[in-house]
Chain A
Amino acid sequence: MKTTGRRSLILIILTVAFFFGLSVFLYGLVTHGGAWAIQPFNGHLTGASTSSAGRVLDRNGTVLAQTKNGKRVYTDDLETRRAMLHAVGDSNGFISTGVQSVYCGELFGYNPITGLASPTGKSAGCDINLTLDASLCRLAREKLGDRNGVAAVYNYKTGEMLCMVSTPDFDPQNPPKDLDTNKAYSGAYLNKVLSSTFIPGSIFKTVTSAAAIENISDLDSRVWNCPGSITVNGNQITDIRSYGKLHFKDALAKSSNVAFAQIAIELGTERMSAEAQSMGFGHNFSLDGISCAKSSYSVKGASEDELGWSGVGQYTDLVNPFHFLVLMGAVANGGTPVMPYMVKSIVQPLGLPQKTGSGQMGSELLQPSTAERLKSYLRYNVTNQYGDSMFSNLAVCAKTGTGEVGGGKSPNCWMVGFSSNSSTPLAFVVLVENSSSGSLSSAGRIASSLMTAAAKVVS
């Protein structure tokens, strides 16, 4: 019988398998329970059930999403629906950074303890008010048109996000059947403002500039020779044309790669890396707890020409749009940003506020004096290069950029900046991917209309 007892250990194998399987289920329940529950087919959210889901509204009270007759219904206007897709989210939980996914507990009354049930039998979700302006988002999307890209605007004094748009998108009310197969929708599940990084091109010169301001004492009196191209380490670094001799602020305004490559090489890897790090590269920013992709600047082991290219936003540089929005806010705000937020308030069914959002001060990204000088250079860009008429009466400080992507694709066209007027404290980031028309005429035009419209929103 001893042997029989020993052989009975075969049941232990089964028991171990059982506990393993049970753990798989329970782990899924704990980590994904909310997403499992918030399904369009879930009868507890729809139909005759007593619970009802909350609404999502923009800053003006426009209802962006609500539950009607047991169905999740998005705002009537197709363009607005698509523009707000990434901020609001969809019904299937595909857009994991949308408020409908992130705040499913508050919206649908879900929590891990009681699920969708409520001890009183009468549960209802909270309404979520956003700081975003639906019409501003709609405008941004309209201007982006069928081009892929991002556009974001925020108030750098209060922290309110006003516009956050990422394309491609789709209609959450009627998701297309070919969403997963059609290449036109590739990347549609991502809010690229938050979750993607891109090659920055010349907008990175703001970082190189900050490093120069802090490390080169005679910066304004120095002159850089920009003959159209220079050869470093056997490799050419080129400009679109020869600029002759340039002072620093003109080198930035004309965006001379030759000048900035020399500056980066002069500063060296350590000081460039230190500046990038202090300006938020490699840092994990977040918007209302939604974690963003990290920008990266890495010149470890780079040769001199590669270091030069890194100083003009090429090489391995990658930038997250939200990070640059915060960075622009920091420059505008004397070096320390007010962190953006987009959930204005979460209001319980009886009207009691459950949570109120506010802009928190972030950590210092630039020294106040650096921020002040960089601001004046960025202002000079607009007045002397881009044309102040683009942004009438907004005193915009900005930098454009064209990030060369390679692989037969046209570059990423950028414009980042802010209004230095105290009545219109707005910072913006605009990116048009794969654009052949130059950054001013693509991203610049979008930024121009967006800032003009946003100015009306805040005033």
Chain B
Amino acid sequence: MKFPFDLSFLTSSMISVMLFLFRIIVPILTAVVALKCFHSLRLGKRRESPVMVLEDMTTHQVIPVLYWENSIGRSRSCDVVLRDQTASRAHAVLMRRESGWFVSDTNSKAGTFVNGRKVLGRTPVCPGDVIAMGSTVLMLKSTEEVGAAPAQPPRRCAASPFGLLFLTFLTQALLALQVAFSKGKFSLSFLYPLAVLAVLEWALYLYSIKILGHVSFELETLAFLLCGIGLAIQSGVDLKSSWTQVTAIAAGIILYRIMIWFLGDMDRVMRWRTGIAVFALILFAVNLLFARSRNGARNWINYGSLSLQPSEFIKIAFILVGTSTLDRLQTYRNLSGFIGFSAICMGALFLMRDFGTACIFFVMFLIIAFMRSGSVRTIALALAVAAFGAFLILKIKPYVAQRFEVWRHVWEHTGDAGYQQVRVLSYSASGGMFGVGVGHGCLRDVFASTSDLVFGMVCEELGVVLAVIVVLILASLALYARSEASRSRSTLYSIAACTAGGVLLFQTCLNVFGATDVLPLTGVTLPFISLGGSSMVSVWGMLAFLKACDERTYAARRSRK
């Protein structure tokens, strides 16, 4: 006897409905994890209450010391303002380091004296010590001594790191189900890369929280959340590239930990800066000599089966070279060395015809230059030079100009210059709010779908809601870096984090808006999501800058001593 209905149709429909429901749950979970992480980061932020105070020995006025690095001088922009005509505009810097408080004279005219002795280099100051600048004499005191409210202890995270990572893991499990059914039938082999990712995240969790005793894991959780989404998309397209992806994530995590350690000692960073700059330039030189051309840009170096994109690592070097502690900033105000370094980097990228990366370096330069100097004139000059450069590119490289011509007119070029963009738009709309399911998209067949067009892939296969949440997380990382700028342990961390956050957001803009015809550029990866080896590793490096900016990152280590 035959059944009147085809039962296999029924089960496949049920699986479809289940996967669809999961695609509704994934963005909800992602949003919950992201909100909780950022909330926890906000709560973990130090209140701006003084730890120490400076007491003016003549007026007995009490000046709170709010930051880890405090500029002292006549200028109103200083953290401690001296009403003293004999003091220099930026006279000295009072710094808190792990071993205590220090003062540095920053090329002041009258000099700085601690307990009557002239300051040469960095000099430790203890509570009760007297710092003399010009005709002002200040005594360092702890807040308890003057009867002010005591500094509040740093607060713990709002949400438990374990809970957050577990939610992330759950989200990834739901994504894994999408991947498992990506070919229509359940298939376990597609899940291995995601399983490795799960092992990596729990391993890093145990290492950070249990072994190193860190209190915060929000940034890492967010990174794993994004990596999981990216990896799910890759696994649905091609298993081999998803192994590349997960390997890159593992390498990225190692780089991340190394950088967290390296950044732990600011003096070490400052000492190594010249070396790093030289190394970056050598890397560029090697790139220019040995690089292979791929899709018009000579930015790949092949070594055996390994292919590397040196410019991705130079990004990290660029930030390390550009950033600086406050005493250094105030002593050596001149930007020319950094401008020269940037110019060489940009020049090398032009020779490599990698204009997308050149754009990114330029934005990094702008952020660093502005945060170091605050000079609008420098920025304006840089923008003028950039405009000239852009004009030159358009003149010399007709294919770049072509992109500008079809910009906002892609629907008239569905077969040629607008090919990728119209497909991104069309398939993004086809996916609706919750996507057609991993592996069931059509954008995957378009060139560069998993890298430059990956935003469209997320829209099509997992839905525009999740895609928007992903880019909002990336934007929030930049905003987080900004909000920590005055709270971190040093301007070194602040400048680095703001630059890293800015670059992540800028890359997001180029990737998303280039693919969707909001901007005329394509060819940049979406952080944590796009398929990439070097770029994925480098993104974790960027995350390390954000992490270092969090005051709690290096607090745990001290508490263990």
Contacting pair A25 B516 (CB below 8 A): yes
A89 to chain B, nearest CB (A): 16
Q: With A22-B468, A42-B426 in contact, is A11–B481 under 8 Å at CB?
A: yes
Q: Which of B79, B326, B482 contacts A11 (CB 8 A)?
A: B482
Contacts A1-B491, A11-B498 hold; do A26 and B482 have CB atoms under 8 A apart? Answer: no
Interface residues of A in 87-122 (CB under 8 A from B): 110-122
Q: Which of B77, B430, B501 contacts A117 (CB 8 A)?
A: B430
- Interchain CB contact (< 8 A) of B485 among A5, A21, A43: A5
Stretch in contact with the other chain, from B197-205, B246-254, B344-352, B502-510: B502-510
B16 surroundings in chain A (CB, below 8 A): 118-122
Contact digits for A8-45, partner B, Cβ 8 Å, 1 yes 0 no: 11111011011101101110110011101101011110
B513, A11: Cβ atoms closer than 8 Å: no
Q: Is the interface of B mostly helix, strand, loop or mixed?
A: helix
Which chain A residues lie closer than 8 Å to B21 at the CB level? 119
A221 at the B interface (CB under 8 A) = no
A4 at the interface (CB under 8 A from B): yes
The answer for the CA separation of A55 and B425 in the assembled complex, in Å, is 25
B505, A11: Cβ atoms closer than 8 Å: yes
**In chain B between 383 and 431, which residues have their CB closer than 8 angstroms to a CB of chain A?**
414, 422-423, 425-431
| Distance, CA A112 to CA B475, complexed state (A) | 25
The CA-CA distance from A12 to B483 in the complex, in Å, is 11
B38 CB-CB contact with A under 8 Å? no
Q: Which chain A residues border B431 with CB–CB below 8 Å? A: 115-117
Q: Is the CB of B432 within 8 A of A114?
A: yes
CB nearest neighbor in B for A19? B475
User: Which of B15, B425, B445, B501 is within 8 Å of A28, CB to CB?
Assistant: B425
For B93, the closest partner residue in chain A by CB is A1
Size category of the B interface is 35 or more
Partner among B374, B478, B481 whose Cβ is within 8 Å of the Cβ of A3: B374
Say whether, besides A3-B71, A121-B16, A44 and B430 are in contact (CB < 8 Å).
Answer: yes
B362 within 8 A of A: no
**Which residues of chain A come closer than 8 Å to B425, judged between CB atoms?**
28, 36
B518 near A10 with CB under 8 A, answer no
User: Which interface residue of B67, B68, B437, B516 has the most chain A CB atoms within 10 A?
Assistant: B516
Q: Give which listed residue, A17, A26, A42, contacts B427 with CB less than 8 A.
A: A42
Smallest beta-carbon distance A176→chain B, Å: 16
Specify which of B67, B430, B478, B505 is in contact with A42 (CB 8 Å cutoff). B430
Kindly name the residue among A8, A9, A28, A29 whose own CB sees the greatest number of chain B CB atoms within 10 A.
Answer: A8
Say yes or no: is A456 at the interface (Cβ < 8 Å to chain B): no
Counting CB contacts under 8 A, is A2 at the interface? yes
> B367 within 8 Å of A by Cβ?
yes
Whether the pair A1, B12 counts as a contact (CB closer than 8 A) is: no
Query: How distant is the Cα of A9 from the Cα of B508 in the complex, in angstroms?
Result: 19
| A7: Cβ under 8 A from any B Cβ | yes
Choose from A1, A34, A119 the contact partner of B429 (Cβ within 8 Å).
A34
Q: How many A-B residue pairs have CB under 8 A?
A: 177
Pair B12/A121 contact, Cβ less than 8 Å: yes
User: When the two chains form their complex, are residues B475 and A15 in contact, meaning their CB atoms are under 8 A apart?
Assistant: yes
| A21–B519 CB distance below 8 A | yes
Docked pose: A10 CA to B68 CA in angstroms? 22
Question: Chain B contacts of A120 at CB under 8 A?
Answer: 13, 16-17
Q: How long is the Cα–Cα vector from A17 to B21 in the complex, in angstroms?
A: 34
CA of A32 to CA of B408, assembled, Å: 14
Q: Establish whether residues A115 and B432, one from each chain, have CB atoms under 8 Å apart when the complex forms.
A: yes
Chain B residues near A4 (CB, 8 Å)?
A: 326, 371, 485-486, 491, 494-495
| Contact A112 B433, CB 8 Å, known A15-B505, A121-B13, A121-B16 | yes
- A5, A37, A114 — which one has the most chain B CB atoms within 10 A of its CB? A5
Across the interface, A36 reaches (CB within 8 A) one of B20, B426, B486, B512, namely: B426
What is the CA–CA distance of A22 and B433 in the complex, to the nearest angstrom? 15
Contacts A21-B519, A113-B433, A117-B431: A10 and B371 contacting too (C-beta < 8 A)? yes
Instruction: State the CA gap A29–B17 with chains docked (Å).
Output: 25
Query: A2 — nearest CB in chain B belongs to which residue?
Result: B79
CB distance from B104 to the nearest CB of A (A): 14
- Cβ-neighbour of B432 out of A24, A32, A117 (below 8 A): A117
B residues less than 8 Å from A33 (CB atoms):
429
**Interface flags, B234-277, vs A, CB<8A=1, else 0:** 00000000000000000000000000000000000000000000
Whether A25 touches B513, Cβ cut-off 8 Å, given contacts A8-B371, A113-B433, A114-B434, is yes
On whether the beta carbons of B509 and A18 are closer than 8 Å, the reply is yes
A1 partner residues in chain B, CB cutoff 8 A: 66-71, 79, 326, 485-486, 491, 494
Q: Using a CB-CB cutoff of 8 Å, which residues 429-452 of chain B contact chain A?
A: 429-437, 440, 442, 445
Q: Are B513 and A21 in contact (CB under 8 A)?
A: yes
- Write out the residue numbers on chain A whose beta carbons fall within 8 Å of the beta carbon of B471: 18, 22
Complex Cα gap A118–B431 (Å):
10
Report the bound CA distance from A2 to B436 in whole Å. 49
Chain A min CB distance to B453 (Å): 14
Distance in Å: Cβ of B505 to nearest Cβ of chain A: 6
> Chain A nearest CB: distance from B52 CB in Å?
14
Q: B219 at the A/B interface (Cβ < 8 Å)?
A: no
Least CB distance from B361 to A in Å reads 15
Q: Is B479 part of the binding interface, using a Cβ–Cβ cutoff of 8 Å?
A: yes
Contact of B433 with A7 in the complex, beta carbons under 8 Å: no
Distance (whole angstroms) from the CB of B23 to the closest CB of chain A: 9
**CA gap between A311 and B68 in the complex, in Å:** 85
Bound CA span A15–B495, Å = 17
Task: Name the residue in B363, B432, B479, B519 with the highest tally of chain A Cβ atoms < 10 Å from its Cβ.
Answer: B432
For the complex, give the distance between the alpha carbons of A1 and B78 in Å. Answer: 8
- Asked if A115 and B486 make an inter-chain contact with CB atoms under 8 angstroms apart, the answer reads no
Please determine whether B429 and A10 come into contact, CB atoms closer than 8 angstroms. Answer: no
Q: Separation in Å of the B469 CB from the closest CB of chain A?
A: 12
In the complex, residue of chain B having the shortest beta-carbon distance to the beta carbon of A117? B436
Residue from A9, A120, A122 having most chain B Cβ neighbours under 10 A: A120
B475 near A18: Cβ-Cβ < 8 Å: yes
- Chain A residues lying within 8 Å of B440, measured Cβ to Cβ, are 117
- Is B192 interfacial (CB 8 A cutoff)? no
Whether the Cβ atoms of A22 and B482 lie closer than 8 Å is no
Q: How far is the CA of A24 from the CA of B515 in the complex (A)?
A: 13
A314 to B237 CA separation, bound complex (whole angstroms): 65
In the complex, what residue of chain A is closest to B367 when comparing beta carbons? A10
Q: Give A49 to B78 CA distance when docked, in angstroms.
A: 65
Whether the Cβ atoms of A11 and B478 lie closer than 8 Å is: yes
Which residues of B sit under 8 angstroms from A21, Cβ to Cβ?
509, 512-513, 518-519
Contacts of B423 in A (CB 8 A): 41
Is B101 at the interface (CB under 8 A from chain A)?
A: no
Docked pose: A112 CA to B459 CA in angstroms: 13
- B313 within 8 Å of A by Cβ? no
In the assembled complex, how far is the CB of residue B465 from the closest CB belonging to chain A, in whole angstroms? Answer: 10
Q: Which of B68, B506, B518 has the most CB of A within 10 A?
A: B518
Q: Which residues of B contact A42 (CB under 8 A)?
A: 426-427, 430, 442
Closest to A39 in B: B426
Chain B residue nearest to A111 in the complex (CB): B432
Residues of B within 8 A of A112 (CB): 432-433
- New A-B pairs, 12, CB < 8 Å, besides A121-B437, A122-B13: A1-B79, A4-B326, A7-B374, A10-B502, A11-B478, A11-B479, A11-B481, A21-B512, A21-B513, A36-B425, A36-B426, A39-B426
22 contacts between A and B (CB under 8 A): A1-B71, A3-B374, A8-B486, A10-B371, A10-B498, A11-B505, A17-B509, A18-B509, A25-B516, A36-B425, A41-B426, A42-B426, A114-B432, A116-B431, A117-B20, A117-B430, A117-B437, A118-B16, A119-B17, A121-B13, A121-B15, A122-B16
Pick the 9 closest A-B CB pairs, nearest first.
A115-B432, A5-B486, A121-B16, A43-B442, A8-B485, A1-B67, A117-B436, A36-B429, A37-B429
